[in-house]
């Protein structure tokens, strides 16, 4: 069913080359559909297909692991390691590193996913200005980026491009969604996945579910946004790939689970940098951190369920994909967080190996990369595994 629908969508889009942008919507789907789809919409400019990087090839046998190494005590990035300083295992079996490159020169494919639900309305200005500065600092000539906003719908404001002007215009289109009481109550309720079943462990929340129509904060399709960005955009690219999430981490209304969204990023070889940015005042007595504003336990949403902790969700997404979790606060501003992400993306080791023995196609393979230097207490940040092809 999914393959058939995907083929039909692409066939349709190929007959509409003049439509300039893309929208990831739910409105024209059957309500029984279990996966969101990518559809075109007219307003705004889109990068011509000829500017895209070459198509992704599933025939490559070399597995690439992009890693950042830090000193545990200071947090300083370590940039002078060699191939012999690393030890690599897959499914607890030692692997031979066949390719090594410090400060990877591969083109960077970057996606910025911005939560525009009503609860984020007062922080959107900061996100917009910081995002413009971030693109200006991180993107080089061969790099490209896209911008997606998500709330009760998911929209691609700008497809892959290396034009700062187009990306700036896309960020200036960011607007908060309607207050929850004005949103349509006919939206499908967004349950959270049941615990267990994920390679990294159980799911936060233990299967708690918000009532029909989403939580008191409105519908926010975070998991769907990650899946669509990974499957419909990142999976078609080669080189280094990273998503940056700006959100409070609380999902309601998604058609897919947390597990499915993380799996999609892993299959697309995409790192996810999760940035927890929340306006706690918009929650009243609630907070996405799992605690009230003055240390009180938050009041549960209507229906009596508290739901998952947004911070734990974002931490898991970052850890399982090889990215990093950040939290915006009084002493850690968004501009500084973007500077840290930019430094990491420019200081990655590119480590390649051919799995021995090769994994069965479709199965998840656990990877463990460590630094062998004993005189320093080093922390290696890399993805926890991949799906064999």
Q: Which residues pair with 247 in a beta bridge?
A: 276
Nearest by Cα to 156 from 180, 173, 134 = 173
Q: pLDDT digit string (tens) for 337-374? A: 999 999 999 999 999 999 999 988 999 999 999 998 76
Q: Minimum mean pLDDT among 41-50, 71-80, 172-181: which range?
A: 41-50
Q: How far is CA 332 from CA 68, 327, 329, 338, in A?
A: 20, 7, 5, 10
Task: Report pLDDT for 308.
Answer: 62
Nearest to 279 by CA among 121, 151, 173: 121
pLDDT value of residue 37: 59
pLDDT for res 69? 95
For residue 64, pLDDT beyond 70: yes
Over residues 124-160, the pLDDT tens digits come to 888 999 999 999 999 998 999 999 999 999 999 999 9
CB hemisphere CA count around 2 (13 angstroms): 5
In the predicted structure, residue 76 carries a pLDDT above the cut 70:
yes
Q: pLDDT tens digits, residue range 17-61?
A: 333 344 454 433 434 467 775 544 444 445 444 444 333 334 447
How many residues in the chain?
A: 389
pLDDT band per the 50, 70, 90 thresholds, residue 6: very low
The pLDDT of 291-314, averaged and rounded, is: 52
Query: Domains plus CATH for the chain?
Result: 2-27+34-43+108-179+189-322+333-344 (3.40.50.410), 63-103+347-387 (no CATH)
CA atoms of 269 and 231, how far apart (whole Å): 10
Does residue 302 carry a pLDDT above 90?
no
Rounded to two decimals, the pTM is 0.75
pLDDT bin (cut points 50, 70, 90) of residue 376 is: confident
* pLDDT computed for residue 375 by the predictor: 65
Average pLDDT, the chain: 76
Q: 2 or 144: which carries more pLDDT confidence?
A: 144
**pLDDT for the residue numbered 389:** 86
Q: Percentage of the chain with pLDDT > 90?
A: 53
Tens digit of pLDDT for each residue in 189-215?
A: 443 333 333 343 333 333 333 333 344
Contact 209, 189 (CB under 8 A): yes
Q: Which of 389, 367, 263, 374 is nearest to 317 (CA)?
A: 263
CB of 251 closer than 8 Å to CB of 311: no
Residue 50's pLDDT is 40
Distance between CA atoms of 320 and 352, rounded to whole angstroms?
A: 19
Q: 88 or 330, which is more confident?
A: 88
Helix H or strand E encompassing 168: helix 164-171
Residue 241 has pLDDT above 90, yes or no: yes
Alpha-helical regions (H) of the chain: 2-14, 124-138, 164-171, 222-228, 258-267, 310-321, 334-345
DSSP state at residue 98: E
Phi, psi of 171 (to 5 degrees): -65, -30
What is the share, in percent, of the chain residues with pLDDT greater than 70?
A: 67
pLDDT value of residue 182? 54
pLDDT for res 14:
38
Lowest mean pLDDT among 78-82, 199-203, 311-315: 199-203
What is the predicted pLDDT for the residue at 150?
94
Please tell me the predicted confidence (pLDDT) of residue 281: 58
Three-class secondary structure assignment of 23-58: EEECCCCCCCCCCCEEEEECCCCCCCHHHCCCCCCC
The 10s digit of each residue's pLDDT in 267-289 is 999 999 999 988 765 544 444 44
Instruction: Write down the pLDDT at residue 381.
Output: 96
Q: How many degrees, rounded to 5, is the angle at CA 289 between CA 283 and CA 294?
A: 65
Residue 1 has pLDDT above 50, yes or no: no
């Amino acid at each position: 069913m999914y393959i058939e629908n995907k083929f039909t969508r692409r066939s349709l889009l190929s007959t509409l080359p003049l439509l300039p942008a893309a929208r990831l919507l739910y409105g024209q789907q059957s309500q029984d559909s279990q996966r969101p789809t990518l559809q075109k919409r007219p307003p705004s400019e889109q990068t011509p297909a000829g500017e895209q990087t070459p198509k992704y090839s599933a025939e490559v046998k070399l597995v690439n692991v992009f890693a950042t190494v830090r000193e545990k005590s200071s947090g300083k990035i370590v940039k002078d390691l060699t191939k012999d300083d690393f030890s690599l295992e897959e499914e607890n079996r030692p692997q031979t590193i066949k390719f090594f490159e410090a400060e990877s020169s591969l083109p960077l494919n970057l996606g910025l996913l911005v939560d525009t639900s009503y609860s984020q309305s007062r922080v959107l200005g900061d996100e917009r200005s910081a995002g413009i500065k971030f693109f200006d600092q991180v993107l080089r000539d061969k790099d490209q980026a896209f911008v997606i906003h998500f709330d009760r719908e998911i929209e691609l404001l700008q497809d892959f491009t290396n034009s700062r002007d187009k990306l700036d215009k896309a960020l200036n289109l960011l607007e908060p969604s309607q207050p929850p009481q004005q949103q349509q109550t006919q939206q499908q309720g967004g349950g959270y996945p049941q615990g267990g079943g994920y390679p990294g462990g159980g799911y936060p929340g233990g299967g708690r579910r918000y009532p029909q129509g989403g939580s008191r904060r409105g519908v926010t399709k975070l998991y769907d946004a990650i899946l669509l960005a990974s499957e419909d955009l990142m999976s078609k690219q080669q080189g280094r790939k990273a998503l940056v999430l700006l959100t409070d981490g609380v999902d309601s209304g998604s058609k897919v689970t947390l597990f499915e969204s993380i799996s999609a990023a892993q299959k697309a070889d995409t790192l996810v940098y999760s940035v927890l940015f929340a306006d706690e005042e918009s929650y009243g007595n609630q907070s996405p951190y799992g605690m009230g504003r003055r240390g009180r336990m938050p009041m549960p949403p209507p229906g009596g369920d508290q739901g998952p902790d947004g911070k734990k969700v974002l931490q898991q997404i970052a850890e399982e994909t090889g990215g990093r979790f950040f939290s915006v606060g009084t002493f850690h501003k968004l501009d500084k967080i973007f500077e840290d992400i930019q430094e990491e993306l420019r200081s990655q080791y590119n480590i390649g190996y051919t799995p021995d023995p090769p994994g069965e196609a479709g199965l998840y393979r656990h990877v463990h990369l460590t630094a062998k230097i004993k005189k320093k207490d080093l922390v290696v940040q890399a993805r926890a595994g991949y799906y064999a092809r």
